[in-house]
Structure 1
Amino acid sequence: RIRDEIGLQEGDVIAQVGQTRINSAEAASSAFDRYGARGPVFVVFERNRQYFQTSFYLR
C-alpha cells in the first residue's frame, strides 16, 4: 500500500503538502496533483498530537 511506503498510518492527518496548508481532503488531492508533477512531494502530518515530515515521489 502506498501509505505504508511513505510512512503514513491510519488516523494521521495531513497538515501540509509542499508549501500548501491542508484543510480538507480536496485541498490535499489538489496539492498532491500540483507538487507531484515537479519531483519529490514534501508532506507534514500529525500523529498523536505530534508533527512529522516525510517526502516521496509519486509514480
Structure 2
Amino acid sequence: MFVSNRMTANPFTLTANATVADASETMRTHKFRRLPIVENGKLVGIITDRDLREVSPSPAT
C-alpha cells in the first residue's frame, strides 16, 4: 500500500494567522480531528482537536 492511496486530494487547510476559534469552528463543522496549517503553499504544522482542548477554557469556567 502507498501513502498516496490514503491521502486526501484537496485537504481543507488554515493559515498560521487563523484564530483558535476559527480552527475550532472549522474542525467542529467539518468533523475533522486534525487540520493542516499552511503558509505560502508549504505545510508549517498540524493542529489537532486535543491541541484546541488544551488551550480552550474549561466549560466549568
- Per the normalisation by structure 1, the TM-score is 0.29
Higher helix share: 2
Question: Which protein has the larger Cα radius of gyration, Structure 1 or Structure 2?
Answer: 2
Higher relative contact order (CA closer than 8 Å, sequence separation 6+): 1
Higher strand share: 1
